[in-house]
Structure 1
Amino acid sequence: MVDTQPAVPAAASAGTTATHTATPSAVAVAPRTRPRTRFSARLAGRAPAPPSPGAALHNISAATAVLLVLVAIGSVIHEPVLIPPLAASAAIIHCAPGLPLAQPRSVIAGHLLCAAVGYAVLAAAGSSPWAAALAAGIGLAVMTVARTQHSPACATAVVIVLNTPRPATFVPLLVGSAGLLVLAGWAASYARPRTPRYPAYWW
């Protein structure tokens, strides 16, 4: 049997194919990002968004208030050397209250352990920058083993080695001041609505 269907001309076939091909104007083209925008995005990094002005003011005010109280106490008993490590502790408690190193266990036990390390190194190696660096490293190791990592406590060991404060005065003040920082952080977290609660755990 002979096929009587007429052949489709090549031009017609090409035209038919063209009708099914999307025109360039119909193709969605993603807008190109300007180089300046890409640079700004990279410069911003992946850090979390900053807190609201109200939250930032609340945190700064609470940390400053408790540090001023500690300065007053240290001035009365002539022990102002506590301020550097405790200022760092206050910043962590009020700005990153959810971190493990901001919890009461780490704050209080970390400072206490590093104080013990500082006095031990002071007795064994004397007061020098080399001994202070050694005390900070040993203090960090002890805190890691005890699961009480608190980076500002390393400064406590350094302060003890370099300034040689009297243990009978310094240690009770250190523990009391660390406890006061924790209580101030706890109170500040309940003083303002929608503030992350502190602490996440006590021990």
Structure 2
Amino acid sequence: MMLETNIPTLPATAPRHSLRNGVVACVGVFSIIGILSYCSFQLGVLLALGSFGSSAVLLFTFPENHFSQPRSLVGGHFICTLVALLVLSFAGHHWWALAIAVALATAIMMLTRTLHPPAGSNPIIVFLAMPDWQFLFFPTLFGAMMMVLVAWFYHRACRRSYPLYWI
């Protein structure tokens, strides 16, 4: 007698995206990264993080995903940067402190339901750049909030539903 399992079968390949969805995603990613980059260059203030590139991909290719919702995007980036700054302040600039920062930030994102995988690279960015506490607000919080705002307007203009929930 065989036991039945509830393990779903996975498709053999990744899903195929339509040309329309590809164009919508491409223009959306261009829009948000373009806006953040333009503002950065014009204001002389860093507003675009490396992790925002992968956040933009999620926002415009899978806007319905939990990782793309405002709670996860803004909360994840904020938490990861905050944890990294705290660990850097208390433990110093060591390889093991960086590992602790990424692990701790991941656990906190999971516990607070703000999991956003691209934000997991923020502690690495913090340990490489060695910024001051202002980095938590500019570019992290401001940039993440701008991404959500642009995504909200853009998806509305394309008649797509975003976000599925705010908090």
Q: Tell me the TM-score normalised to structure 1 length.
A: 0.70
Q: What are the superposed Cα offsets for residues 15-59 of structure 1, whole Å, 9 maximum, x if unpaired? A: xxxxxxxxxxxxxxxxxxxxxxxxxxxxx81532x2221221111
Counterpart of 2:164 in structure 1: which amino acid?
A
Partner of 1:59: 25
Cα gap change, 1:79 to 1:129, in 2 (>3 Å): farther
Aligned ranges 1:1-203 → 2 under 5 Å: 45-48=12-15, 50-75=16-41, 76-79=43-46, 82-193=48-159, 195=160, 197-203=161-167
2:3 is aligned to none
Paired AA for residue 165 in structure 1? P
Any idea what the Cα deviations from partners look like across 1:163-196, whole Å, max 9, x if unmatched? 1112225523311111111112112212224x3x
Structure 1 residues 107 and 134, CA, compared in 2 at 3 Å: closer, same or farther?
same
Question: Cα offset for 1:74?
Answer: 2.9
User: 1:125 Cα shift?
Assistant: 2.4
> Identity over the aligned pairs, expressed in percent?
26
Asked if the contact 2:81–2:136 (Cα under 8 Å) also holds between the matched residues in 1, the reply is no
Q: What is the CA-CA distance between 1:133 and the residue it aligns to?
A: 2.5
SS in 1 for 2:49: helix
The alignment's TM-score, normalised by the length of structure 2, stands at 0.84
Paired with 1:139 and 1:103, the residues of 2 have a C-alpha distance of 18
Are residues 125 and 162 of structure 1, via their aligned partners in 2, closer, same or farther at CA, if it must alter by over 3 Å? farther
Higher RCO (Cα < 8 Å, 6 or more apart): 2
Q: Does structure 2 retain, via aligned residues, the 8 Å contact 1:67–1:83?
A: no
What is the CA distance between 1:78 and its match in structure 2? 4.3
Unaligned 5+ runs, structure 1: 1-43
Bigger Rg, which one: 1
Figure out how many residues of one structure are paired with residues of the other and give that number. Answer: 156
Q: Is the CA contact (8 Å cut-off) linking 1:135 and 1:157 kept in structure 2?
A: yes
Is the CA contact 1:132–1:162 (under 8 Å) kept in the aligned structure 2? no
CA-atom RMSD, angstroms? 1.9
Q: Tell me, what secondary structure is at the counterpart of 2:17?
A: coil
Q: Is the CA contact (8 Å cut-off) linking 2:79 and 2:105 kept in structure 1?
A: yes
Structure 2 spans left out of the alignment, 5+ residues: 1-10
Q: For residue 184 of structure 1, what is the amino acid of its counterpart?
A: V
